[in-house]
Copies of this chain bind each other. A is one copy, B any other.
Amino acid sequence: MANKWDNTIDYVTGPDLWVTIGVAVLQIVLILVLTFVVNRLARRITSQFFENRRRGPFKITQRREATLKKLVMNTINYIVYFTAFIMILDTFSLDVGALLAGAGIAGLAIGFGAQNLVRDIITGFFIIFEDQFSVGDYVQASGVEGFVEEIGLRTSKIKSWTGEVHILPNGNISQVTNFSIHNSIAVVDVSIAYESNIERAEEVLHELMAELPDRYPDLVLTPELLGVQGLGSSDVVMRIIAETEPMQHWAVARAIRKEVKTRLDTEGIEIPFPRLVMYSRNDEEKVKEPVH
């Protein structure tokens, strides 16, 4: 054992060690600089390519183009840095291929630990391939919703309307709701008092609905009054729906709410407050009654 220790000390104090370290450091620096240069170059070429393509004969939708540009850049990033990483490992004389094919405890742990990485890339590939959503779409996935900012090889970025950015590994996006493909429907529920005449209220609302498409260009069709959606405890609920341009349903619903409120006020149809029927009773009775 003493021998082992002597060797160690010789190795640490001898000149060979320092030369080896120096060469390795030099190689790594060289690789890093190269990586940096190649990455820059590749990104500029990509950017140029997408610029030129517009004048070319091939035709892709605008929406698809933004997605692809971001994706290509993201993928180049991964490939360049991954190659650099393998080259650096090589510097330390580690054979990566043999490592990955090896088994044993470490292999088991790494294999299990890395399965998420694989799932992310597979799912990401299918999101692009099946065109589930593009950059700029409003989507909901894995409990968050917002506009898609970037679709990458491993992660996607979704920007909520209140400004925060959600970064999701693609494997989390097992199920997507895309709001930007079809027209949206604005849904407005209006309460009418039980004392009101429903026929009259319907008439007034129908009239109003017919006027709206002129005033609001985001309305695709004349809004429709569906009818009595519910008989609440204090009110009769009428439902109005309106087809709008994609994602304009929130703005349109706000406008319809204001129009309906103003019109009902003008026509004297009451939007009811909660009601309560109250029976006043003599307290004395209570105490006495049960004792008979």
- In the complex, which residues of chain B have a beta carbon less than 8 angstroms from the beta carbon of A114? 105, 109, 113, 118-119, 122
Interface contact B118-A113, CB-CB below 8 Å: yes
Given contacts A107-B105, A112-B108, A266-B291, contact A230 B246 (CB under 8 A): no
A195 to B108, CA, bound (A): 68
Interface string of A198-239 (1 = CB under 8 A from B): 110000000000000000000000000011111101101001
B152, B183, B276: the one within 8 Å of A278 (CB):
B276
Interface contact B280-A283, CB-CB below 8 Å: yes
- Interface presence of A184 (CB below 8 A): yes
- In the complex, which residues of chain B have a beta carbon less than 8 angstroms from the beta carbon of A239? 254
- In the complex, which residues of chain B have a beta carbon less than 8 angstroms from the beta carbon of A229? 254, 257
A237 to chain B, nearest CB (A): 9
Interface contact A81-B129, CB-CB below 8 Å: yes
Indicate the size class of the contact surface on chain A.
35 or more
- In the complex, which residues of chain B have a beta carbon less than 8 angstroms from the beta carbon of A130? 152, 154-155, 167
Interface contact B108-A113, CB-CB below 8 Å: no
- In the complex, which residues of chain B have a beta carbon less than 8 angstroms from the beta carbon of A106? 100-101, 111
A residues whose Cβ falls under 8 Å from a Cβ of B: 1, 5, 23, 27, 81, 99-119, 121-123, 126, 129-130, 132, 140, 142, 144, 152, 154-155, 159-169, 172, 174-179, 181-185, 187, 189-191, 194-199, 226-231, 233-234, 236, 239, 243, 246, 249, 251, 254-255, 257-258, 261-262, 265-266, 268, 270-283, 285-287, 289-292
Can you give 26 A-B contacts (C-beta < 8 A)? A101-B102, A101-B106, A102-B104, A105-B111, A107-B111, A108-B111, A109-B112, A114-B119, A132-B155, A144-B177, A163-B182, A163-B249, A164-B182, A169-B175, A190-B231, A194-B271, A195-B285, A195-B286, A195-B289, A199-B262, A227-B251, A227-B257, A228-B254, A275-B277, A276-B278, A278-B279
